[in-house]
Each structure stands twice: as C-alpha cells, then as structure tokens.
Structure 1
Amino acid sequence: MNTVEEFKSFEIPLEYTLAPRIDRCHIGLVQLSTDHSLEMDWAKLLGTQAAVFSSRVYYSSEMTPEALDRIATGIVDASDLIAYGLDMDVMAFGCTSASIIIGEEKVANLLTQHRNDIPATNPWTAAQAAFRHLGARRIAVFSPYPTEVNLPLYQQLTNAGFEVPVLGSLGIQKDTDITKVSKESMLDALEKLLPNAEVDAVFMSCTNLRVLDHIQEIEDRFGIPVICSNSAMFWHAMHLTGRIASCPGYGRLLNMEESPYPHVEASTASNSAALTE
C-alpha cells in the first residue's frame, strides 16, 4: 500500500463517544522559572480533589521590587500556554512577593485575560483570605525577603486591617536561595518571633520556602495556626470554586471541614476573592 487511498481500504473505521471532563477541580497555575518548591508541595496536597495544569514565567531571581514588577510582562503568555482546549475552574499565580509588587487585581486580570470570567488567586490574596477565614487579626510574619520587599508587604497587610506586631526577615537576595533555607533555621527564627508576640497566626511567606511539610509540627509547638504561601493558595483556589480543601497533616487551614466565620463571596469583577465578615 503506497497511497492514502489504498491504505483507507485496509483501515477499519471505529466509533467513539466523548467522556466528560474528569470530576475534580481544575487549577491553572503560572509559576516562576525560579520556583523549586511549589510544584512539589502541591503534589502532596492534590489527591483526587484537584488537578493542576501549569506553565512558567521568566524571573531573574533578583529579590528587588523592579525585578518582581517585570514578571508582569510574561503572565498573559504563560497563562495562555496552559492546557489549550481544556477549561479551568480557577487560575493561580505562584509568587507572593510579585503579587504584592504588581498588585493583586492586576495579577488576576493578567491571569484571566483569555480565560473568560473565572476566578483567580495568588499567595498574597490567598493568605489574607485565610487569615479572615481563621478569624486571625494579629499576624506574625516570617519573611525571607529583603527590606525593600518587606515594607510593601507590611504596608498592604496593615492597610487591609490586620495588625503586624512582629516581622522577621532573612534578607535573602535571590529567589533560588530561599528554597535552601533549612527547617532548623525556620524553627530558630520562630522561637525569636513568637513567644511574646501575642498573635493569632503566623504567615510564612514565599512559594519557594520549603515549609509545608513542617506546618503541623510548628502549629503543635507554638499553638497557633501557620499559613504558608503554598497552603494558602491551594486552600483559596479550591475555595473559589466552592470546594473544601481537605489535606490532613498540613495544618489547621487545610483540615477544616467548615469555616467557623462568616463566609466569602468571590468577586467576579476583579476575578479575585474578597472575604468579609
């Protein structure tokens, strides 16, 4: 058989039907090119409750407001690369500090520019939603960032109505170094920050910080909820689609059957959630 027509006489036509999309939450995730932790953390949380489809956007790794702001130029293209032809339920952007610098609403708009009217989240929006969900007002902040990034973090948190009695900083200058911070360093830092802080929760910022596996231990040790960027964003992505994230062993936020506090409407105008009491 040398021609298509000859081959057609040999080929047996078969019939098929279309199956529905897999019944789980579909999350479209834009990560940074420098992130070594988010993907591995979320792999532990997904189970059969969610599916993640991701792409990456270039980042120089320099922890400066200018470098973080430049990430915005690649978000739309990175979002467009995610699972062409497959509908997402929610979009997520995996960088806490860039979301602070670029702005939550702008990040949401860039993520969903060609995604119709679906909700969007990022670790910074998600963390604030998680604090309200837990009824936490006084927040201790563990930050790996330098001062120039910590100042807008502090300002935006206080402007949102939270108190920040204590903020500790590692002052790391490159994103790829954040993922190397040891568990022992984190625990030592929290021992300095928390004993006399009188806070409702601690926020451990950055998707590249390898803290997810230690959240339960930290909560047990200090007796307060621990929210990290990766736990908050997964919880919030699920929440925005009306689902409850269930991930026992990864802290109070991911092991709550219902919110103990008044709930949560997703703002379709800005594609991000605003939690109100």
Structure 2
Amino acid sequence: MDHLGYRMKFGVIGPSTNTIVQPDFDDMRPVGVTNHYSRIEIPDFKVDSDESFVHMMESISGNTMQAASVLKTCEMQYLIMGMSAVMFWGGKKGAQAYLDKMREHVGVEVSCGSFALEAALNAYGARRIAFLSPYYPVANAEARQFFEDCGFTVVRDICLRRPSPVQIAHTTDQMCRDAINELNGDDVDAIVQLGTNLSMVRLAAAAELFLDKPIIAINTATYWHALRQCGIQDKVQGLGRLLSHY
C-alpha cells in the first residue's frame, strides 16, 4: 500500500502549457489520495483562428498516449484527463471512442471533462445550459454538439478566443465574470466553464451563491467525477456545491 496514496493513486495528464489544472486538483485532494502528473509536450502555439486552434488540438492529441504511458510506471489506479477540448470532439460518439481508446491504452478507468460535466449537470438536474470557453468557435461547436448529444439544450455560449495555450491561464476574473453575466438568464438552468487551463474553480463557487444556480467549472467536475467513480465520497468545502453536496 502506498504510504501517502493509501486510498487512491490518481494519474493526471495535461498539456505542458497548462499551469492551472495541477494546483486546482491538488486543492481538491482528500487525505489518502495522491495526484501524479505527466505532461503532454506541446509548444505555446499562437492561436488566432479556427485553423490554428485545430492545429494546436492535433499536437495535443498526437502526444497524449505517450504522456499517459509514463504514468503506468507509478502503478496509478485511475487516470484523470486534465485537458478538455479533445474530449468534446466528434460529439458524444467521438468522445466515447477516444475515452475507450485511452482506457484500453492505460489499463485503468478514466475520467475526462466532457463526461464529468454530463454527470455533474445530471446530478444538479439541469437541462438548459450555457457555457463559456477560452477556445475558438470551431471548438465551441464541438462542445455544443456533445452537450446536445447528451440531451441538454444549449441556450448560448461564449468563446474567449485566448491567443495561446499559456495565455488561457492569464484570463482574468473580470473576463470570466463578464462572460457569466452575459450567459446568465431565466432561460438557463446552469452555466458551465470549459478549458482546464482557465482558472475558475473559486469564481464559479462564489457565483453560485449570488446567482442561485449551478456554475460548474470543468476542473471541479472532473476531479469530483473521478473521486465518486472510485467510491470516495469525501465532501470538500469552499469549492462549490458539487464537491460539498454531491
């Protein structure tokens, strides 16, 4: 039995440019659970169009399996994918195929942002949603298709069009607050944030208190999903109702 990870050893993969998902996940980690990271090596691409965004996604996807293989050597018990856009591509069917491929490759069960958000929205009972992302329209279209395939109605969405992978982590609270306010309305049951390198865990938790509806950050949903899939029911306070109540 691992001395620190005596309840669970999570492997986590994410792009090398991502500086948010690791501290976010570590803040949610219960005692006896450990997180072990492997980075998907990519350059800090300039992203200024749908085409350059797709090029970035292809680079991430091409190196993902190698990064996951590294984690086999620590005998991880479960894998968390700390990258999101790839896991919405091709709608629910495409995302499921990628998830199945990853499970077969690593030999353990896997949580990813797309299906974690589906589970979180179902836990809240939300059906009509709005979402924001740091992406470009081509990626938002794929995310919209995924959510619609899962039976949700997407009322509206916003893409922040961040200029590079590293710059996603430089997105300000004001940018996110403005997006939440633009997305909110009586016609929306829940607001969802995509992009694991976008820091919105605490802002989402605060926004829930004032807007009185679920505001779900993808990093919160993904780690929550992994914990619950592994039978770990610990409630984490201060990071939103998903972790504290479900």
Instruction: State TM-score, norm by structure 1.
Output: 0.78
Q: 1:161 aligns with which of 143, 151, 163?
A: 151
- Farther off after superposition, 240-249 or 122-131: 240-249
Q: State the shift of 1:149 in Å.
A: 1.0
CA gap of 1:112–1:128, structure 2 versus 1, over 3 A, is same
Aligned twin of 2:76: 88
Q: Is the 8 A contact 1:201 1:227 kept in 2?
A: yes
State how 1:241-256 maps to structure 2 within 5 Å: 241-256=230-245
Aligned twin of 2:11: 28
Structure 2 SS opposite 1:53: strand
Q: State the shift of 1:99 in Å.
A: 1.4
Aligned partners of 1:114, 1:190: CA distance in 2, in Å? Answer: 37
Aligned partners of 1:91, 1:148: CA distance in 2, in Å? Answer: 27
The residue type equivalent to 1:73 in the other structure is G
RMSD: 2.0
Aligned twin of 1:104: 95
Is 1:231 equivalent to 2:214 in the alignment?
no
Q: Which has the larger radius of gyration?
A: 1
Is 1:184 equivalent to 2:174 in the alignment?
yes
Q: Is the 8 A contact 1:126 1:232 kept in 2?
A: yes
Structure 2 SS opposite 1:247: coil
Structure 2 SS opposite 1:220: helix
Aligned twin of 1:140: 130
Bigger proportion of residues as helix = 2
Q: State the shift of 1:197 in Å.
A: 4.4
Q: Is the 8 A contact 1:89 1:241 kept in 2?
A: no
The residue type equivalent to 1:226 in the other structure is I
Aligned twin of 1:121: 111
Q: Which residues of structure 2 form unaligned runs of 5+? A: 48-52
Structure 1 SS opposite 2:89: helix
Identical columns (%): 23
Q: Which runs of 4+ in 1 moved over 4 A?
A: none
Aligned twin of 1:271: none
CA gap of 1:61–1:157, structure 2 versus 1, over 3 A, is farther
Structure 2 SS opposite 1:81: helix
CA gap of 1:174–1:88, structure 2 versus 1, over 3 A, is same
Q: Is the 8 A contact 2:173 2:203 kept in 1?
A: yes
Q: State the shift of 1:169 in Å.
A: 2.0
Q: Is the 8 A contact 2:134 2:194 kept in 1?
A: yes
Q: Which residues of structure 1 form unaligned runs of 5+? A: 1-18, 259-277
Instruction: State TM-score, norm by structure 2.
Output: 0.88
Q: State the shift of 1:32 in Å.
A: 0.6
Aligned partners of 2:115, 2:141: CA distance in 1, in Å? Answer: 17
